[in-house]
Amino acid sequence: MTRRGGRPTLTIMHGKAITVLEMDYPIVEFMALCETPYNNEVQEPYAVVVLLEKDLIVVDLTQSNYPVCENPYPMDIHESPVTCTAYFADCPPNLIPILYFHRS
């Protein structure tokens, strides 16, 4: 994570290849997403989640051009009443209707 020419950047190194991604806003934090949470197993990241001052992006590391996953609801996270978000995969199919039912 560096600033190049005044713009925040994220450097991705894969083997001997180096890619520098320029960000629109300063980077607050980033985290690599891996298939396994165990440090003693081979860590092969498939994406990087980047929290920017005014956005949240996910960079797809499985494709050579490192596309950014489109955010369907762009917003300034720091001006939102949302204080926590979580992503759960492989949820039971009946969970979503229950969440809608309990929504106020």
Examine the pLDDT at 1 and tell me if it is beyond 60: no
Examine the pLDDT at 10 and tell me if it is beyond 90: yes
Classify residue 61 by its DSSP letter. S
Dihedral angle over CA of 40, 44, 47, 52, nearest 10: 50
Q: Tell me the pLDDT tens digit for each residue of 45-91.
A: 999 999 888 888 999 999 989 998 877 766 666 666 767 777 777 88
Domain ranges of the chain: 2-101
